[in-house]
Amino acid sequence: MAAYRQMGTGWTGLGVWIALLGMGIIGPGAAWGQDAATDFRNNCMSCHTIGGGRLVGPDLKGVTDRQDRQWILKFITDPKAMIDSGDPEAQKLLKESGGVVMPTLPLGKARIEALIDLLESESKLPRSKFAGQVVSDRPLGPADVAAGEKIFTGRQALTAGGAACYSCHSVEGVGGLGGGSLGPDLTKVFERLGGRKGLTAWLGSPATPTMQAAFGTHPLEQNEIESLVAYFQAQTQFAETPKPRQIFLGLGLAGACFALWGLNSLWKRRLGGVRRAMVQKAAIKG
């Protein structure tokens, strides 16, 4: 029994190390314990397939033959910087994507290198497991649009408990206050993000910073996505009132950072409080 307990503590210690490694807190370049396939699924699949055609971004099958490896590394590390530098290839890709700029994802060199290896090996397969999901072609009707509106405005709660879209986004079709302004106006998002196929994939695993924070652990269900897509398709009939989008977005991101910071310090204070109480209790006992 004693021996068993001793082994137990040993294993617990090892477990803590493995957990820290997994969380990327320790380890070389935080690359250990990260799997390129998981990285691709969580960060790239919302906008790219490998051999399944274009979504918001280009199909990545054969990209390592089309582009130089150093170029790919530099591009993924900071797409906006590459585009702003006037690189002709990046400019061309931006144009083909209707002006949508790929987000900068905080992955680090080692994980990006592993992703490029993955792109290369998956491109050689007859069918990659990242060829993309098959999007239903069931015609979407008024009932889907109505269901989507309920979800958008929060009258229908999300199954996994994510926040209502309306608290951060507006669309032209919704009257009154017009929704939140933390996120961009979504009136034309159906067209902007590649129609039914592109938007369905995008919402399946949002990879932009705020959306990933809001829905990464509360993913939308497939039927919720379908209703929302129907709703956004119906919105395209409205003209989008021009808004100073950059300013909105900037304020929105600042707001989100502030909110996260606030929550974090609240949480810390709460924990601190609990710990203090425990220490005091221990002190009284002792």
Binding site for ligand HEC (CB under 6 A): 43-44, 46-48, 56-58, 60, 63, 66-67, 72, 75-76, 79, 93-94, 97, 100-103, 105, 115, 162-163, 165, 167-169, 182-184, 186, 189, 192-193, 202-203, 207-211, 214, 220, 228, 252, 256
Tokens found for residue 160: 């996994």
Integer-rounded Cα Rg, in Å, for the chain is 23
Given the complex with ligand HEC, which of 29 and 273 has the nearer CB atom?
29
Nearer to ligand HEC, 23 or 163 (CB): 163
Q: Which residue is associated with the tokens 């929704």?
A: 179
Residue among 140 and 214 whose Cβ is closer to ligand HEC: 214
Closest distance between ligand HEC and the C-beta of residue 127, in Å? 19
Tokens of 213: 């924070």
How far apart, in whole angstroms, are the C-alpha atoms of residue 169 and residue 180? 5
Q: Measured from the CB of residue 139, what is the shortest distance to ligand HEC in angstroms?
A: 21
Task: Please say which residue, 11 or 31, places its beta carbon nearer to ligand HEC.
Answer: 31
Q: Among residues 20 and 251, whose Cβ is nearest to ligand HEC? A: 251
Least Cβ distance, residue 148 to ligand HEC (angstroms): 9
Long-range contacts of 97-104 (CB under 8 A, 24+ apart): 97/56, 97/57, 97/58, 98/192, 100/56, 100/57, 100/192, 100/193, 102/47, 102/57, 102/75, 103/79, 103/207, 103/208, 103/209, 104/77, 104/78, 104/79, 104/80
User: CB of residue 234 vs ligand HEC: minimum separation in angstroms?
Assistant: 14
